[in-house]
């Protein structure tokens, strides 16, 4: 875009009912810190208006946008193409303008992997993943693409668990199995990484993930997608057992980092973004 034609480059967030989205503060802090003349704008978009909104963003020169519930799947027909993991998952949370095309990516799983990389390389590792919803699906696909050895999906609803395991086996040829979650789950010996990909613990510091605490062994990496509270009960219990704990805020910051990288091409400062997010969330 030629200088002077527009005051700012624009990216946005299309969602419904996400007023006060703390991601706005995090992304805008990155733009400001790096002296970028960019804005990140929260936009309330109804399902009926989604196609018009995407066409409008393209017509107005937006460099991309995040999209969250309820648009992650329904946005796909309005885009020009999909990145590798978004195509496998069938869900998009980040749209990037490449030339004249809007390409759908999924940064949830990429953010998780970037956060995980601070502790361990998942290649060749055995993983237990609680949950089979959107976040768990995104994480499982990225772990599969990163070359994990095995994923055990532990989920309450059998139907959702079956669907995720079938996707991992069929599309990624991964060694994946489902355990339908009934009562306390025992993490198998030899597991390297344990992940809570459910919403258990969100705004509920005392909520307990049903598992045998004694099956968490020193040295295991235990990660939570829940970011509020930052130190969930699972992470506190895991740290007390000598595990290496990874919080969900790191995943959220890193998916923001991946988004900024995709839109602007720069590697933004992670510390600045985390501080802005923590301030916006009051944690």
C-alpha–C-alpha distance, residues 283 and 278, integer Å: 5
Tokens representing 24 are: 């706005």
Closer CB to ligand NDP, 9 or 75, in the complex: 75
CB of 101 to ligand NDP, least distance (A): 26
Closer CB to ligand NDP, 217 or 230, in the complex: 230
Report which residue's Cβ sits closest to ligand NDP.
133
Which stretches of the chain bind ligand NDP, using CB under 6 A? 108, 111, 131-136, 155-157, 160, 198-200, 202, 225-227, 248, 251-252, 255
Closer CB to ligand NDP, 18 or 145, in the complex: 18
CB of 200 to ligand NDP, least distance (A): 5
CB of 131 to ligand NDP, least distance (A): 4
Sheet holding 9-15, edge to edge: 38-44, 9-15, 64-67, 94-98, 101-105, 81-82
Residue among 87, 104, 75 nearest 142 (CA)? 87
Closer CB to ligand NDP, 172 or 195, in the complex: 195
Q: List Cα–Cα distances, 42 to 13, 17, 134, in angstroms.
A: 5, 11, 21
Decide if 58 is catalytic.
no
- Catalytic: which of 58, 72, 114, 125? 72
CB of 207 to ligand NDP, least distance (A): 8
64-67 and 9-15 as β-strands: parallel, antiparallel, unpaired?
parallel
Residue among 206, 255, 276, 274 nearest 72 (CA)? 255
User: Residue 16 CA to chain centroid, in angstroms?
Assistant: 18
Could you give the residue numbers annotated as active site?
A: 72
């Amino acid at each position: 875009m030629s200088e002077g034609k527009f005051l700012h480059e624009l990216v946005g967030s299309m969602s419904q009912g996400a007023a006060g989205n703390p991601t706005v503060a995090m992304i805008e802090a990155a733009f400001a810190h790096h002296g970028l003349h960019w804005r990140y704008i929260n936009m309330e978009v109804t399902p009926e208006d989604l196609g018009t909104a995407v066409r409008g963003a393209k017509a107005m020169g937006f460099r991309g946008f995040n999209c969250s519930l309820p648009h992650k799947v329904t946005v796909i027909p309005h885009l020009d193409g999909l990145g590798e993991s978004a195509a496998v998952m069938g869900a998009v949370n980040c749209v990037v303008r490449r030339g004249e095309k809007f390409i759908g990516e999924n940064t949830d799983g990429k953010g998780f992997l970037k956060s995980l990389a601070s502790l361990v390389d998942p290649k060749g590792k055995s993983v237990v993943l609680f949950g089979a919803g959107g976040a768990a699906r995104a994480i499982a696909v990225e772990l599969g693409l990163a070359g994990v050895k095995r994923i055990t999906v532990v989920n309450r609803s059998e139907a959702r668990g079956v669907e995720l395991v079938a996707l991992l086996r069929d599309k990624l040829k991964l060694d994946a199995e489902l355990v339908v979650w009934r009562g306390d789950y025992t993490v198998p010996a030899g597991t390297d990484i344990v992940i809570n990909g459910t919403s258990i613990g969100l705004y509920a510091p005392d909520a307990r993930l049903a598992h045998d605490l004694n099956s968490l062994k020193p040295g295991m990496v235990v990660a939570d997608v829940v970011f509020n509270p930052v130190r969930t009960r699972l992470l506190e219990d895991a740290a007390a057992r000598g595990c290496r704990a990874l919080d969900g805020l790191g995943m959220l910051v890193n998916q923001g980092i991946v988004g900024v990288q995709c839109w602007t091409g720069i590697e933004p400062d992670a510390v600045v973004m985390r501080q802005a997010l923590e301030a916006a969330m009051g944690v």
